Every structure is written in structure tokens, then in C-alpha cells.
Structure 1
Amino acid sequence: MAKARITEVMMDDTSINVSKEVDLVFSIANSLRGAYKSDKYKDVIIPMIIIRRFECALAKTKQAVVEAFEANRDIPPQILEAKSGYKFYNTSRFTLAELLNDADNIVSNFKSYIEGFSANVQSILRNLDFEKEIDKLDKNNRLLGVVRKFSEIDLNPNTIDGIKAGYMFEEIIRRFSENAEAGDHYTPREVIRLLVSIILAEGCDDLYTERRVATVLDMACGSGGMLSTTQDAIIRMNPDAEVRLFGQEINPESYAICLADMLIKNEDAKNIRLQDTMKADCFEGQDMRIVIANPPFGAAWGGKDAADGVESAVKKEHKKAEKYEGAEKLEHSRFPWGLPTSGDMQLLFMQHAIYKMSKDGRAAIITNGSPLFSGNTTSGESQIRRYMLENDLIEAIIALPTDLFYNTSIGIYAFILSKNKRPERRGKVQLINAVDMYKPLRKSLGKKRKEISRDDIRRITEIYSNFEEGEFCKIFDNEEFMYKEYAVYQPLQRRGSISAANIAALKSSAFFTANTRIFNEAEYEVLLETDPREGDDEKKFQNYLKGKEFTEAVIAALEEHASDKEYDDFAEFTKKLKEILGGIEGMTDSRLNQIAMEMSVMDKTAVVQKDKKGNVLTDPTTKDTEIVGLRVDVEEYFKREVYPHIPDAIYVYEYDPNKKASSTNKEKMGAEFPFTRYFYEYKAPEKADDLLAQFNEIERGLETKIAALTGGGH
């Protein structure tokens, strides 16, 4: 059995402290007060950090680049990159410090300095619309001060390496994001390390031998922390490995930070894209060995809250899978198995991750609780879970502590996915309860009050890798989480009468007043006042006129035959109604049956109705549903759970596989992960005598204190 590679994956970063650098940056941010609202400080701070970090990185080679460029202004960019030592450069003689020497021309000189950067850096700053901020800073007499202060910060990669820079950016973004929505958050570094530790703990042995190529995707990459941490871990375990990073991000500031970090690390910047993953896959045709992501919680992909173009793009992508069955669906669509509720795109990201995974691919995806159990049986959420289980893609689900994130205290989960499970994992899902594996912070950081320590990461990874049942680990067959939904009815036993009360009830029923197929009173009144009525409106109005005549004719005929006589045989009652109403224009068997239902009530003493073959007919008004696990014997379940309460209950699996699937013929099979149920421990309440003794003790204590206050008297 594989053992976790914890020691090699983990790094000792406990000594990293970025408070000095972060405090310095925020002292600059505070100088913007008055010219900027606090939520707009980032419009200046993020671009300036990026510019200064690039400047520091280029400092040693800047002179050589400038001289080469001035000697030949048509020099190929590749030569300038070679001279700079990076995949970016700056051909301007200016630096932030040099700009201070000509305060009168600082605006034009600063813009000239930015234009001296290579095209990839200019693109980053252009996406941040920074030139506009230069003008605004100058107009508010802040530009000179901001440039001076940033020119004094040491952000050289040799001083602040990628790991420390990641911590610094994490803390800066955290402070800027304290009031952000819970769905849009920065992933704490220790959560990233946990995911990386688990995803590399098994199923990745091939990456640790010889020169291997590992493709890593984060389709909601933020500032790139997950990508960088995964890369660092693989390189530490195999220095000869080639790790290719791919990222998509929708937020311009986060994208800029990520791209800047990749350029400084000499990564392929073209693989970091500013693009909404819901709209497009920027790396079509490229399979990923590892997918790791923390998509937004509760972000809308459809409806009025969705970004422009997202809903149509998602539905178009989903539609690609319609003409395929089984595993073929995943070959043709990023969202093959279903669309979740329009207010939450987490399970769309999950499907995208699976779509991108190579045949031996692995994934770690952070979610909140919604993807585990939201949605009814035939909902998109349930069907996505079902197909993930049927295709044996879920290795583990890990419940993590609450209060881990900076701007939300909700509980989170990690889905560990694999397309190539080790033999003992096949057909099974591992649940790990790690909600109490944390250490409290001495001081809260926003809403973050807990962190997962190095020892906690080791412990969780070992539980995962050992794959053994225990207090914090449960292992189940995939079918444990799948179920069928059965419709439950009671026999058709109704008592009816053509009484004045029943006629009045029918007259005011929704069947007669809010029925778009017969008569809708509210719509009719609106159409009546509409002048002129054209096209569909006129057609609808004429239909309602006919419906109005129909309902009035029915009521008139019933009133003419009103009687208090009761019928305890529903068939006999329906027959009587047919004698009275059968000749009315527009009457059908379906309408007649509905009228009979409206004018009768369920009565267990009435005659049980049967069809011509002797089968008991069911009363549609008694319909209920029961969820029965796929591995559970249905009849035994009903004997245990239903028949003791409803002895004559009739259950039906309302799906005909021989008919075309439709809104009325859907397979009622779904899946959910009721995680907490499997780790719930019943604790008996204290005995009444013990509680009474505690109460009496408290009462005696109060009496003693009162006596002391009153000098011993009562």
C-alpha cells in the first residue's frame, strides 16, 4: 500500500515573515486617503508592486539591455530577453528612482518608462488600466510620493523569493479582500499545501523518476499560489522534472500578479490567460496531469446575476453532449452531465476539471457544502454527482475546519479526483473528517481564526494515503451514495357529492380560475382591457372566452342537479358527473376526472378503485416520495419505514426506459454525500435527576450569595 510522501512534499516555511514589507506597502496605501476610497487603493498598489518587482529583477542587466536597444532599435526581442535573463525587459533609461529627478515631467516620463517594458509586461499594466491611475495620482498630488516610496522597497527576487512573495501577496490581497463576497476569496497558503500534499501522496510516482513532463492546471488560478506550490513540490522531489503551468483567471488584479510571478520565474506566460473558464477553455486539446483549484462559492452562471455571455456559453457547451451516451459525453463537452442551479457554478468547475484530466490525471478541488448534497433527484447537481460515481472518479472527500478563509467562516471540503485509482480504491469513496484538525490563531486575520498546521497536514495526508477505516476515516462503495426516488401513493378511495359547497369550491378552484389551458381569470381581465389585441394575445383571448363559456356551462349544469347525496364509489360518482356534463362542448375524460377529483375528498371507508385487470388505482393527490439507497432492498425498506405508518401504500418507480426521456419521463436516480451523517455520534441527554441536582446546587449557591448581600436575612 502506498505511503504518503509528506516529508519530501512539505517545505519548512514557518520562519517566513512578511509583516515588514506588507506594513510598508499599506503605509503607502494609506497615503492615498482622500484621493481614493479604500476599496480602490488596490488600483494603484497592485500595479506599483508589479512594476517595482520587475524593476528589481531587471536591475543587474538593465544597462546592458538599454545599450543594446539604443545601438539597434530594431533588435529582436529574443536578444533583449537573453540579455535581461528573463522573458521580459525594459529599454527605457528611467527607473522609479530616476523619475524623481524630474518632478515637473514625472507623468510623461513615467508613461515613457512603462512603454519601455516588453509587450508582455505592458499587456499586464494595460489590463489594469494603470495609465489612468498615473493621471489621477498626479491630479491629486500623490504621484511623486507614491513613486518615491515604492522606489525604496526592495522586491528583488533574490531577496524576496517566490515563496516569500506569495506570502506577501497573500497578505496584501487578504487585506484588500476583507469585505469581499464569500464566494470570491484567496486560498490560505496552508490549505494549498494540504491539497498539494494529498494530490502528490499517491498516483504520481512516475513524476519522480527521470525527466518527466507534468502539466498542472488551475482554472480559477487567482494570483497563482496553487500553481506555484504544486510546481515547487514536484521540483523538490524530482529536480529533473519539467512542470508546465496553465492558468485561467477572470480578475484582472489577480491575473496580473500571477502573470508577473510566472514571468519572473521564467515560466511560459502565454499559458496564463485572462479568461472566464465558464466561457471558454483556453487550452483545448491539452490534457492535464494535475488539476488543482478553489473555484468561487455560490457564483451565478445564469440569470440576472451572471456575467454577460456566461449563461449562453454554458448552455451551448452542455448541449454538445446531448447526442452522446455514457463516457462519450465527456469527450465532447466540458459540462456533459448536467447544469447545476444557475446561482452556483462550483459543479461546472468540477466537470471542467474532469474534462481536462489526462487518463492518469488527478485533481483536488475546494468547495463549500453545496456540491455534496444540493438539488433534488433529477437536478443537475444530483446527476453530476451520480455520473462522477458511476465513472469512479471520486477518490476522497475531506471535510476541513471552519474559519480557515479570510472572508468566510463556512465549512469547506476538498474533492480528490482520479482517473486512475490504485486497485484497492476502485469502486470506493473515502470520507475524511478533518474538521477538528487545526490550531487556533493567536490573532484573527479577518474571519480566519484557525489554520492547518504542518502536523495537521501530515496527519490528514497519512489518513488519506493509509486508506484504512478509523475514527476520522470511513470508506464506502460508490453505490452507498446513490439512490432511487420512488413515488408513494395510497389507493384511490374518495367520497364525492354534487352539493352546493362542492360546486362553489369547484367554481373558485385553480382548475377553473388559474388554468392556462381552460380559463385564467387574471390573464383574461388584462386581455379584456387590452386594445388592440394582436397575434398571440388575440388567440389567447379567444381561447379564454371559450374556456369561460365552458366553466360557466359546467357550473350551471351542476347547480341544476345539485344534491346532498354522497357517493362512496368514485367510479359511480364519475359516471354520474358524466351523465350531467358529458354533453357540454369541450368536455373530455381528463377534464371530467379532474372535476370529480375537485368535488370529492379522500375517505378510507370509501370503495377502493381498481382497473379492469383488478389492479388497485392510486390517488394522485396522495403522492409522496421516498429516497431508497441503491444497495437497499426496496421491499424491506418499505416494510420497515413506510408500511407501519401507511399499510396500504403503493410504491412506483416512475421511469420507463423504453420511452424517450423527457420532463415527464426522467430516470429518478440520483446521488448525494450526507457527510456529517457518517460521523455523527449520538450523545444521550443528561438524566433528569442529574439535571435537577445541578439546578438545586445552583439555587443553593444563589441563596448563599443573596444572604451575604442582605446580612444573613431573607
Structure 2
Amino acid sequence: MSVLSSFVWSVADTLRGPYAEAEYGSVILPFTVLRRLECVMAPHRDVMAEIVAQYPGEQQRRTHLKLKTRTADSAGLSFWTTSDYTLKKALQDPNNLSENLIDYVGGFSANLDVFKSFDFENVIRTLDARERLAQVTRHFEKLDLSPDTVSNADMGDLFENLIYRFAESANDGAGQFYTPRDVVRLLVDLVYAEDTEALRGRGTVRSIYDPTVGTGGMLTVADEHLRGLNPDASTALFGQEINPRTYAICKADLLITGQDASNVRQGDTLVVDRFEDRRFDYVLSNPPFGTDWKAVEAEVKNEHARGGQGRFAPGLPAVGDAAMLFLLHVASKMRDVDESGRGGKAGIVLNGSPLFNGGAGSGPSGIRGHMLENDLVEAIVALPNDMFYNTGIATYLWVLSNAKPAERKGRVQLIDATGLGSKLRKSIGSKRVEVADKDREAIVRAFAGAQNDGDDVTVLAKIFENRDFAYWTVTVERPLQLRFECTPQTIVAVAEHKTLGQIAGLTEALESFGDEPYLNREKFNRELGKHLGDHGVQLTTAQRKTLWQTIGVHDETADICLYTSGVRKGEPEPDPALRDTENVPFGWGEHPKTHEALEETVQAYFDAEVKPHVDNAWIDWDKTKTGYEIPFTRHFYTYEPPRPLEEIDADLERVVGEIMELLREVEG
């Protein structure tokens, strides 16, 4: 593949000069698509011409062409061209090469509109004007991209490798459209793992959908894997893609494999779901890492506001990271559970932040709560670092299901595969590690609950109940106790205050009040108020509150400040500076892991863990929030004791000796 990709990309030598490096991809990608289509059509050009001449309608041509070109290994062609040109034939009339190629591309059937996304006619004319058209055309005419030489899967690899090179040369987020094939195969294996026997059945029909489809790599691998299990299986592939170039490549690729081209649609999945009324057997996605959703903020928030009718009703993440929006979308696209108990499954690639970002009551926590409380998370797999082309950060595969087997209901499996992975001989961008076949098989066995005896790989798997990841965040209050003194320091603080400092006569009145300490707020306010009145200083209620807040300092020997009005009149007033929170896990102290056990669990925790240390504290129940967090790394943390002191001392002595020796050499 690297040899083929390098050969295709070598046409860049021809473009160098008239084209900037960032423009190479706009030429290479559409010509690669055209040559692939040409090689696929080559054995069928006579049949194609016959059917085009015999049938005037698009649907008639599509139906008859597919029947006439169907083989045991191919579903048949569903596209054609009315043009007699090929790259070779177009080159035979060099004076009209540009027009010949435009005629060639313009002759494709209406369902093959991908060259519009490349603005290919303009590409051809620009190449001609810059005197590079003939050289580029000859380069691709020599390229053998026939299905016998390059399989659909290899062609997908080629397209994505070219896109990676294109993005890298343009310094445009290289790798954001490129999901490594080892990651795709692992994700597909995990999603199919529990359905293997069912997929081998006769008459198997499955739909597979990718909302961030890119060039269609995930769909291709999923389709080939399913056909490997059952050659007679029927698949329907669906995808949505925002980028016009990758959309065009995906559409062409699916057409070649006999899929319905109308099942690939362009658009931003977060703004509009092009398959709003459909659900699928399998959903696969690798959304871009760390991208914001500022550009679609209004649309997303409007859908969130629709409540239960919107994909994003459970919550919204921070605008800086759209990952959890894609997670919600993927979950919403799994097919409903039917009368036989079969539902939908999904796999999505995410970074670490969806596991833990956002505290109790936040949007991300609410999304995790939605996924866990509805029993949608089946497993999460931690991958080795350096697996992706554009990032070396920790990545995770989430496996979702709305119809878990009985033994998995109410549970989540965490699989730590960070110890796996083989070093690449040559890194590709940030990708330095791949998951080999043996590693992938070990992970799938761990997912299935099988032992890995005899393997030379390490996979750790643990099972948790859904509510092992739920907790309550409880607000613990302590009473407000203040000492009031009109010292020079506190008077300066009042004078420098942006509001109090503007009140005429206030500073002078405070200076004459005296510096006697007051341990009771009501007494201080009463006597100070009288003193200020005698000096002609009148304060509003808000100003009086600001004044005692500025002068007062915490003192545990002072009287507790009480509310003087409202429903809480006579109750202790909390000190915001001493306010604290405690996270109480569901099930603490062997209490039930239920929402109804909130009060008894929290009270027991408070009595055991807080009250003995802070006797006058209390719980503000109105501020209690429910949160969800999946602390993956904490569950797989292995303690490594520090080195013995003797060993550290020996190293220090050795280093000091080396330094002294170097100093003696310098002095000598």
C-alpha cells in the first residue's frame, strides 16, 4: 500500500512549481477516483454501451446494467458513462485533451455526481492553463487500479493515505479523516462479537451506518467482515459526511461495490441528521477529536431545548468539545429492540474526556447518566497511546447496545488494552503503535469473557454495575462566625472599597467608633448603626451588608450569625468561605444503589466521615446533585513503590563523584 500510495503521490513532482504544495491533493484525489472508476468499468464497457443505447431511463439502465454485470464476487455496476472516452483515448487528441476529459466526466450517470464536489471541470481547465494536464493524465493512465489488483479495502486505504498526505502537506489537521485500519477492525470485531452466530444465518440482512463517514473506511471494513462471516449476507451501507472531498470519495467507493449511492449524504451531522427517520443495526463512528461546535451552537441548543424529542436532550457538553454530541447521536441511531429481542449496536472512538469531564449536574455528567441509566454502555476499551495519525493522547472505544445479553444487563465492562500494541518501524504522523491481529483477538476474547491463557499479551478486564459510576455531590455548610473591629486596617479596606469608599463621612465615622471587638453581628450592627446615624451617615440595606462583610473576619469564638428574616429566620447562616462539597458514591456503606436511597446514604456518610471532624457542620440538601463519572485509570492503577533510599543515595554519590571528576579536569 505504501508503494502504491507513493507512486500515486509522485505526480506531485509534475505539479511542483505551478502549484503550491497545499494544492496537490485537489488534483490527485479526483484523478485517482476517475482512474479507479475507469478500471472498474473497463471489462464492462461494451455491455454498458449496449444498455445505454437500448434504455433511455436512468432507473432502467441501472437495473439492467446491474443484472448484466453481476458476478459471484460483485453485486454489479449501478453507474455508467455515456462518453466513449477513456484517459488513453483522450490523450490521443492532445490538442483537445481538456475538452475530451470534461466530456468524459460529464457523461457519468446522475447518481455519480462526485466530481462536482471536486470542482473537477475547473481542476482540468486549470491544469491545462498551467501546461500540466497531459503529464498528469499520462501518469494516471499508467496506473492499474482494477479490482483484481487493488481490492476495495486496499482502495479505501489508498484514499485515506492520500488524504493524510494531502492534509499534512497543507498543514490542515493531518489525519482527522483517517482512522487507522487496525482500530477499525478492532471496533468492528467488538461490535459483531456477540452476533457472530446470528450473522451466519441464512437470509441475513443488516444495515450499517457511519455519521462521520469520511472516505467510508469503517463501512468497507464492516461490510467485508460481515461477508467473511456469511458470503450470502445482504448489507445496506449508510453514511453522512461534512467534507465535500471525502464525501465524494466515499460515494464513489460505495457505488463501485454495488451499494445505493443515495445512502451517502453530505452535511453536518450535528446540524441536520440526513437519516432522521431511520435507525440501524450497527452504527460506527470516529468523530474528530477536540473540535468545538461554536459554528453550530444555535442549532444544537435549539434541538436540546426540544426536550425528549431531540438527540441532545440529555445534556450539552462544553462548546469546546463536540465528542459527547456525537456519542448522543450514535446512541440515538441504534435500531429499536424488536419482538425477538434484537436491537442495535454501536461503536465509537473517543478521547478520554467523555469519561470524566464535568461535575455533578453538568451537561457531560448528564449525558453519562443518560447512557448508564438507560443501560446503553456495554464496554469501554482503553487503547495504547500513539494509535492515531493526528494525536498521541489516550483513546477509548465505546461499545453500545440497547439489547444487552441477560448476563450483561445493568453492567459495564472496562477493558485495559494499553499494554498491547506493536511499535511501527516507521511512524506515520503521531501514529507509532498498531494493534496486531493477535492483540485484537486477545481483546475480543476478553470482551467475550474468555481467558487469555498462553497469550503473550496483557489484557485486563473488569465488570462494574452501571451505578458504580454514580454519585451524589453534597454541599456541606459551616456556620458564619465573625469578629468585628474598626481597626486601621479594616477602615482602610472600607475606604478602598469601590462602593463604600464613595459614601461621604463613612470613613470618618468609623475612625471615631473605636476599636472594641464585637463577637455578635446583631450587636455590632445595632451599635454601629446608631453611631453612623449620630454622624449623619445613612446606609441602605445592601450597603450595611457590604460594610459588615468588609469589616468582619472569621473567628470560631464568635457567636453564630443567624438569619433575621425569611423562611429560615433564626437558623444558622452558612459561611461561603467554609463551604465544602463531598462526593458520596451510590451504595456507600452497603446501602442500596438507588436514587431513593439518597437521604439515608448521604446522612450515614456525613455522620461517619464529616461530623466527627466538623461538629457544627450540616448538609444543605437543596444543593445536592447527582453525577456520573467513569474513572477508568483509577480502576486499573497499579501501585509502584518508590526506589529504596539506599539505591537513591548510591546514585547521588555516583553523580557527585562524576561532577567532581569533571571539575578537577577543568581546573587542571
**TM-score, normalising length: structure 2:** 0.87
Question: For the structure 1 residues 364 and 498, does the alpha-carbon distance in structure 2 shift closer, same or farther, using more than 3 Å as the test?
Answer: same
Report the residue type matching 1:135 in the other structure.
Answer: R
* Conserved 8 A contact 2:506-2:537: no
1:471 Cα deviation after fit: 6.9
Please tell me whether residue 177 in structure 1 is matched to residue 177 in structure 2.
no
CA distance in 2, matches of 1:587, 1:613: 21
* Conserved 8 A contact 1:557-1:580: no
* Conserved 8 A contact 2:421-2:433: yes
1:28-427 matches, within 5 Å, as 28-66=11-49, 69=52, 71=53, 74-76=56-58, 78-79=60-61, 82-83=64-65, 85=69, 86-121=77-112, 123-178=113-168, 179-181=171-173, 184-203=176-195, 205-302=197-294, 306=295, 310-321=296-307, 329=308, 332-358=309-335, 359=337, 360-427=343-410
1:238 Cα deviation after fit: 2.3
1:291-690 matches, within 5 Å, as 291-302=283-294, 306=295, 310-321=296-307, 329=308, 332-358=309-335, 359=337, 360-466=343-449, 472-499=460-487, 501-509=489-497, 552=503, 555=506, 558-559=509-510, 562-579=513-530, 587-588=540-541, 592-610=544-562, 615-632=571-588, 633-635=601-603, 637-638=605-606, 642=610, 646-655=614-623, 668-690=625-647
Question: For the structure 1 residues 120 and 578, does the alpha-carbon distance in structure 2 shift closer, same or farther, using more than 3 Å as the test?
Answer: farther
* Conserved 8 A contact 1:506-1:599: yes
* Deviates most, 221-230 or 155-164: 155-164
Tell me, what secondary structure is at the counterpart of 1:256?
A: helix
1:129 Cα deviation after fit: 1.1
* Deviates most, 43-52 or 624-633: 624-633
Alignment identity in percent?
39
Report the residue type matching 2:540 in the other structure.
Answer: M
* Conserved 8 A contact 2:380-2:399: yes
* Conserved 8 A contact 1:503-1:555: no
1:209 Cα deviation after fit: 1.8
* Conserved 8 A contact 2:442-2:459: no
Question: For the structure 1 residues 76 and 687, does the alpha-carbon distance in structure 2 shift closer, same or farther, using more than 3 Å as the test?
Answer: closer
CA distance in 2, matches of 1:448, 1:257: 23
CA distance in 1, matches of 2:215, 2:94: 33
CA distance in 1, matches of 2:21, 2:440: 36
CA distance in 1, matches of 2:499, 2:374: 45
Write out per-residue CA displacement over residues 131-181 of structure 1, whole angstroms, 9 at most, x where no aligned residue.
111111111111110011111111112321212212222322232233443
CA distance in 2, matches of 1:127, 1:246: 19
CA distance in 2, matches of 1:347, 1:424: 27
Q: Which runs of 5+ in 2 are unaligned?
A: 70-76, 338-342, 453-457, 589-600
CA distance in 2, matches of 1:399, 1:457: 13
CA distance in 1, matches of 2:232, 2:123: 43
CA distance in 1, matches of 2:472, 2:505: 42
1:225 Cα deviation after fit: 1.0
Tell me, what secondary structure is at the counterpart of 1:466?
A: coil
Question: For the structure 1 residues 35 and 571, does the alpha-carbon distance in structure 2 shift closer, same or farther, using more than 3 Å as the test?
Answer: same
Q: 1:691 aligns with which of 642, 645, 648?
A: 648
Question: For the structure 1 residues 586 and 417, does the alpha-carbon distance in structure 2 shift closer, same or farther, using more than 3 Å as the test?
Answer: farther
Question: For the structure 1 residues 703 and 502, does the alpha-carbon distance in structure 2 shift closer, same or farther, using more than 3 Å as the test?
Answer: closer
CA distance in 1, matches of 2:287, 2:41: 34
CA distance in 2, matches of 1:456, 1:410: 20
Tell me, what secondary structure is at the counterpart of 1:177?
A: helix
CA distance in 2, matches of 1:568, 1:592: 17
* Conserved 8 A contact 1:61-1:83: no
1:621 Cα deviation after fit: 2.8
Write out per-residue CA displacement over residues 39-92 of structure 1, whole angstroms, 9 at most, x where no aligned residue.
2211011111111111111112223433554x5694545326633741110111
* Conserved 8 A contact 1:54-1:264: yes
Report the residue type matching 2:313 in the other structure.
Answer: P
* Conserved 8 A contact 1:406-1:448: yes
CA distance in 2, matches of 1:183, 1:281: 24
CA distance in 2, matches of 1:402, 1:224: 24
Q: CA RMSD in A?
A: 3.0
Write out per-residue CA displacement over residues 534-576 of structure 1, whole angstroms, 9 at most, x where no aligned residue.
xxxxxxxxxxxxxxxxx62683795486432221112322333
CA distance in 1, matches of 2:58, 2:407: 56
* Conserved 8 A contact 1:485-1:653: no
Question: For the structure 1 residues 615 and 457, does the alpha-carbon distance in structure 2 shift closer, same or farther, using more than 3 Å as the test?
Answer: same
Tell me, what secondary structure is at the counterpart of 1:200?
A: helix
CA distance in 2, matches of 1:700, 1:621: 52
Question: For the structure 1 residues 505 and 116, does the alpha-carbon distance in structure 2 shift closer, same or farther, using more than 3 Å as the test?
Answer: same
Tell me, what secondary structure is at the counterpart of 1:625?
A: strand
**TM-score, normalising length: structure 1:** 0.82
Question: For the structure 1 residues 401 and 558, does the alpha-carbon distance in structure 2 shift closer, same or farther, using more than 3 Å as the test?
Answer: farther
Report the residue type matching 1:176 in the other structure.
Answer: F
CA distance in 2, matches of 1:119, 1:490: 73
* Conserved 8 A contact 1:496-1:601: yes
Tell me, what secondary structure is at the counterpart of 1:598?
A: helix
CA distance in 2, matches of 1:193, 1:140: 43
Question: For the structure 1 residues 699 and 573, does the alpha-carbon distance in structure 2 shift closer, same or farther, using more than 3 Å as the test?
Answer: closer
Tell me, what secondary structure is at the counterpart of 1:291?
A: strand
CA distance in 2, matches of 1:23, 1:162: 18
1:210 Cα deviation after fit: 2.3
1:20 Cα deviation after fit: 2.9
* Conserved 8 A contact 2:207-2:282: yes
1:97 Cα deviation after fit: 0.7
Tell me, what secondary structure is at the counterpart of 1:299?
A: coil
* Conserved 8 A contact 1:338-1:383: yes
Tell me, what secondary structure is at the counterpart of 2:131?
A: coil
CA distance in 1, matches of 2:39, 2:459: 51
Q: How many pairs does the alignment contain?
A: 628
Question: For the structure 1 residues 335 and 498, does the alpha-carbon distance in structure 2 shift closer, same or farther, using more than 3 Å as the test?
Answer: same
Tell me, what secondary structure is at the counterpart of 1:137?
A: helix
Q: Which runs of 5+ in 1 are unaligned?
A: 1-17, 322-328, 514-550, 656-666
CA distance in 1, matches of 2:223, 2:500: 67
CA distance in 2, matches of 1:574, 1:319: 47
* Deviates most, 258-267 or 78-87: 78-87
* Conserved 8 A contact 1:170-1:188: no
CA distance in 2, matches of 1:491, 1:597: 15
CA distance in 2, matches of 1:668, 1:643: 20
Report the residue type matching 2:517 in the other structure.
Answer: E
CA distance in 2, matches of 1:581, 1:370: 56
Matched residue, 2:73: none
